[in-house]
Structure formats: C-alpha cells, structure tokens
Structure 1
Amino acid sequence: MAQTAGVKPMTIVGRVASERERCLGMTDAERAWRKQWLQDQILASNEPVHVEEYWRERINPIRRLYRKPLDVIYNALTPALGAQRAADYRYITGKLGFMAFGILAIHYYFKYNANDWTRKGGWRVIRSKPMVLPGQPGFPFKSDRHEPADYASRGFKSSPI
C-alpha cells in the first residue's frame, strides 16, 4: 500500500517553500507562520525516541524470530561501531546470508534433481560440444557418440544396474 494510502500528499510548507515566492513578498502572518515552521524543524536532543513497546507490537512474532540472530549481532556491535555502521553491517550480513542460502538451494536442486533416465522431472542440463579451432589440439572435434543409442540416453548406459 502507498505511504499516503491513496491520498495525494499535501505539503505543509505552503506557498513559501521556494525562495522565489518568499522574495515576491510575505505578509506578517506568513512570516510568523514560516518562523514557527522553521523552529518546529529543530529536533529536541532526545529525539528520535525509541519506544520498545511500539516496535514489539509493530513487528509480528515470526518476523521477530528470524530477525533475532542479526539483532543480537547489531546490539553487540553498536557500542563499538556506532548505530549507523552497525545497522549497515546488519543489513549487509542479512542480504549476503539470503544470497548464500539461495545459491546453496540452487546447487542442491541441480545436484540432486537432475533429469536422467530414472525420473520424469527436473532440469535437463545439456553440455554443448567444445569449440575447437583449426590449429588447436583435437581439431577436428570428433564426438564420443558412435552409435544411435549414445544419443539421448540420459545416463542410462552409464548406470550401475
């Protein structure tokens, strides 16, 4: 869902947002309003305030469970590195973990779910013949398939059965 829930965002700066508009002339009410608006942009020394109960209610239990390991690392690194740098390391570690898991899952799938003669499904990986140019050893390339049964055997001939 959009951040404004489908409602067009309204700027609170008003007409005096651009310097050109301010130079055209401002009324005393606009000057007072702009002065108050600029003062409101200054944060207090204790802001932003972190309310633990708010974040606990905002994040569901399953998400808290899978975020817990990286939160422990973040909390351990924060005193040494600072909040922003520890958050960067936490973010990068999480993304690299997901990428490593994805690569391992793809490797597992291709290793143990090959399309051979014993099963119907799985990805069929075909190796193309090597490119051998004139003057290179092995030119002209001769295929290792000598009889018609060698083609499309899908590993049946090399089976230990």
Structure 2
Amino acid sequence: MVEASETSGVKPFPIGGRMVRERERCIGMTDEERAWRKKYLKDQILSEHEPRYVPEYWKERTNVIRRIYKTPLDMMHKALTPILGHSRAYTVRFFTGKFAMIFAGIYAGWYYLKYNSNDWTRKGGWRVHESRTISLPGDSDFPRLSQRTKPSDYANRGFDNSPI
C-alpha cells in the first residue's frame, strides 16, 4: 500500500526563493526579481476576511469525543471574544483548560491518597511511613526510644483501631 504524502510525491520547495534572505537581496536584484518580490510581498497580505473559520472544515477534522470535551471551553471563548477580543479570549480559554487539568490531577491524587491508604484490610494503596525525629547526644531526651511498646505494635497497619 502506498501512503499519500502531503505533496503527492512532488518535491517541496520554498516559493520565496533566494530573495527571502536579506543578504541575498543586498547582493543585487534585477528588475525582474524586484517585480517578482513586489508581487510576492503583496500576495502575503491577507484580506480583512482572512483567516476564515469554516465550521464544516473543523467538524471534519476533529472527532466526536474531542468536540464533546472541547465544547465548554469553546462556549466560554465565544462568550468572551466580544469582550476581550479573539487573542485574549483564546489565552483565557487555553489557561483555563490547563488550570482545570492541573486542579483535577491534584484533586484525584488527594482523593486517592485519602481513601486508598494501605491498611490491614487490603494489599494495595499508599503506605506512609513516618520516620522518628533525630535524637543527638546532648538533647534532653537523648536516647529517644520507639513509641512502640510491645511486639504487636510493629507492622500493625491500623488493626488495633478496627471496629471488629
């Protein structure tokens, strides 16, 4: 199977030619090159109707799932565009989506850590170990001993607090 390329097998080339670089233009330009450059620069100016938004084009380019999750931010962008302008409304839309994803990630992590801790009832989940504080010679409580008084306190994992 032959894959279609963007240029349909034709080798791409820059349409600006050598006159795109200022150094090349300073070497010298013929009248023909000067006329071509004038036409080229005139063609680069967009009309007031461009860039043009064609809804059917964007509908064909994005799949259904992507259109669904983009809808709330698109509606916010549409509402803010008359107030802030297109560029600023797009910036607000962009950062709102990013902050929402960061917030959702932090909240999901917090929820998982809070409600899926590792205790005696399950194998999985996060197990949190607390280290003892440093005790150096010269401290008032120097030989700081463990808070665990009997062997059943080790590897307890919350069994003593169970309602059973």
What TM-score results when the alignment is normalised by the length of structure 1?
0.83
Q: Indicate which of 92, 96, 100 corresponds to 1:93.
A: 96
Matches within 5 A, 1:1-161: 10-131=13-134, 141-161=144-164
Task: Please give the secondary structure, in 1, of the residue aligned with 2:159.
Answer: coil
Query: 1:23 deviation in Å?
Result: 1.6
- Structure 1 pair 160/12, CA: closer, same or farther in 2 (3 Å)? same
Amino acid across the alignment from 2:86: A
Query: 1:54 deviation in Å?
Result: 0.9
CA distance in 1, matches of 2:126, 2:19: 62
User: Structure 2, unaligned stretches of length 5 or more?
Assistant: 1-5
Query: 1:140 deviation in Å?
Result: 5.5
- Structure 1 pair 34/108, CA: closer, same or farther in 2 (3 Å)? same
- Structure 1 pair 94/138, CA: closer, same or farther in 2 (3 Å)? farther
Aligned-CA RMSD value: 2.5
Query: 1:130 deviation in Å?
Result: 3.1
CA distance in 2, matches of 1:94, 1:144: 47
- Structure 1 pair 142/61, CA: closer, same or farther in 2 (3 Å)? same
Amino acid across the alignment from 2:67: R
Amino acid across the alignment from 1:42: I
Deviates more, 1:11-20 or 1:38-47: 11-20
CA distance in 1, matches of 2:101, 2:139: 43
What TM-score results when the alignment is normalised by the length of structure 2?
0.82
CA distance in 2, matches of 1:95, 1:76: 19
CA distance in 2, matches of 1:80, 1:139: 66
Amino acid across the alignment from 1:55: W
Identity %: 58
Task: Please give the secondary structure, in 2, of the residue aligned with 1:157.
Answer: helix
Amino acid across the alignment from 2:74: D
User: Structure 1, unaligned stretches of length 5 or more?
Assistant: none
Task: Please give the secondary structure, in 1, of the residue aligned with 2:117.
Answer: coil
CA distance in 2, matches of 1:63, 1:121: 33
